Amino acid sequence: MGAIYRREIGAFFTSSIAYVFLAVFYSITGFMLSMENLAGGATNLMTVFTTMFIISIFMIPVLTMRLFSEEKKQRTEQGLLTAPVSLTGIVLGKYFAALTIYVIAAAVVFFYGVLLSLFGTVAWMTLLSNFIAIVLVGAAFIGCRRHCLPADVPARGHAGEPYSGSVAPEAAHLSELLHKIL
Amino acid sequence: MIEVRHLTKHYGDKKAVNDISFTVNDGEILGFLGPNGAGKSTTMNMLTGYISSTSGQALINGVDILEDPIAAKRNIGYLPEIPPLYLDMTVKAYLNFVFDLKKCKLPRRSHMKDVLTLCKIKDVEDRLIRNLSKGYKQRVGLAQALIGNPPVLILDEPTVGLDPKQMVEIRTLIKRLGKNHTVILSSHILSEIQAVCDRVIIINKGVVAADDTATNLSDKVTTDHRVIARIEGEKAAILQAIRAIPGLKYVRADMEREPGIWEYEMEAQPGQDIRREINRIARENEWNILLLKTMEMTLEDIFLKITMGEHVELKPKGGEQ
């Protein structure tokens, strides 16, 4: 799993998907920040987080769509599935790679916090809990995209059910909860 | 050691692989021969755990690939038909990735160096795989199969796309590896199979059509009852005289090889050597024999005959038909 994780992170940056993702994230949330907080003079980052939530819906597929389609396209899935690594290991490696990029994007929120603290007081705990919430939302979304595995799972008895992320329901539930609190 | 027992793969109604059984012993190089669509790649994919079988067993060094896939796969180095290369990585980065993926316990630097040198890709180790020629890509594919020094090597058309010199190099390499690995090699190039492999399995339409050593296969089918003769004389008269030989199955004038001289292909009953009869006929009619030889079947002939559904008479020497 570790090998796959490291490779995918590298691949995200070589293929510039990571840069695109981060650029979109940073620019849109930065814009929101400057409109709402810097111009409006509020330290409530609610708009930023809401924006992040909405961006995620559209941008997460950008991260995840190439995770498996590349494998299929380049026929490298055969290499992965004939290696002594479990299917779980493969999926988790890719999952955490996508999640890492997402967390790097979401972590800009701390930078915004620091920026705003120059002008007023920032409720750091709220910031933190919002950050965790948005990360969980991202985790859920990434998990939901995990449905493009090869059809024939090599184990007797499996008739080729598409894999669905079991992390997704839990994370989605948790993030809903947190969001309501905030 | 690889054991395959009654391996079957159905795709709906279609039987891609139908009850295949064979064994490959340690240190043996087995050649898989068969037309496209015969089930070679399907069998190899089942052996390596890429696809599941419908029924039957595949044991790699005693481990069932479906019962304990991780343990079985640890023993296998697989080069699929299309090498699973990540085009966006350099050769060295890719092979390091494979090293980690296979959880290899060997000393990284020296093992990497060995594999790179063995496959002659040391000079392109820092190039992106995307920028390599087909021959180099193929060799990187072979290198990834060799990482970890697995006891079992399964190579699906390893020399495809290579130039003749590279083909010879890879063949020599495989022969050398065969000394302390168990190798299954599939190919369309019959001379390659003949040169490299100890044993040959011919697969046709999902079943094993022949399973024996290359020489044995040729031996079994080489017959002295099939003769080719180039006789100088009047064609109709020659044909008539030959047809008079008792026990003759057929004779036909094949081609006009030299001006006025035809080549005749004839077949008698199995075990009947008619060369002396031909000599006698020629002497009686004062014809000159310019060529007389028994028709040997090369592996290619056997392959073509078997896969075209013709009945190939194999002498029952304890082998399979």
For residue B134, CA distances in Å to B83, B129, B190 come to 10, 10, 22
Q: Residue A19's domain spans which residues?
A: 2-181
Q: How far is B212 from chain A (nearest CA, A)?
A: 28
- Considering only CB atoms, B78 lies closest to which of A74, A76, A82, namely A82
Q: pLDDT confidence of A176, banded at 50, 70, 90?
A: low
- Range B167-193 average pLDDT: 87
ipTM of the complex: 0.74
pLDDT tens column, B215-259: 776 665 555 677 888 888 888 888 888 888 888 888 888 777 788
Q: Which two tokens stand for residue B135?
A: 């021959």
For A55-114, the three-class secondary structure string (H helix, E strand, C coil) is: HHHHHHHHHHHHHHHHHHHHCCHHHHHCCCCCHHHHHHHHHHHHHHHHHHHHCHHHHHHH
In sequence order, what are the residues at sequence separation of 6 or more whose Cβ sits closer than 8 angstroms to the Cβ of residue B321? B210, B314
DSSP-derived 3-state class of residue B216: helix
Of A87-101, A157-171, B217-231, give the lowest mean pLDDT range: A157-171
pLDDT at B321: 37
Subunit contact A79:B80, Cβ cutoff 8 A:
yes
Check residue B75 and give its pLDDT: 92
Range B153-173 average pLDDT = 88
**Identity of the residue numbered A52:** M
Residue A6, chain B, CB below 8 Å: the answer is yes
pLDDT of amino acid A160? 30
Domain count, chain A: 1
Q: Which residues contact B126 (CB under 8 A, 6 or more apart)?
A: B90, B91, B92
What's the confidence (pLDDT) of residue B227? 84
The CA distance from A77 to the nearest CA of chain B, in Å, is 7
From chain A residues 70-89, the ones with a CB under 8 A of any chain B CB are 74-86
Chain B CB contacts of A7 under 8 Å are: 86, 89, 97
Q: What is the pLDDT of residues B54-84, one digit of tens each?
A: 999 999 988 999 899 999 999 999 999 899 9
Residue B275 above 70 pLDDT?
yes
Residues of B in contact with A11 (CB under 8 A): 86, 88-89
pLDDT (tens digit per residue) in A33-65: 888 777 777 767 777 888 888 888 888 887 887
**pTM of structure:** 0.75
Give the separation between CA B123 and CA B118, rounded to whole angstroms. 12
Q: How do strand B29-33 and strand B182-187 relate by DSSP bridges? A: parallel
Which class for B208: exposed (0-12), middle (13-18), buried (19 or more C-beta within 10 A)? Answer: buried
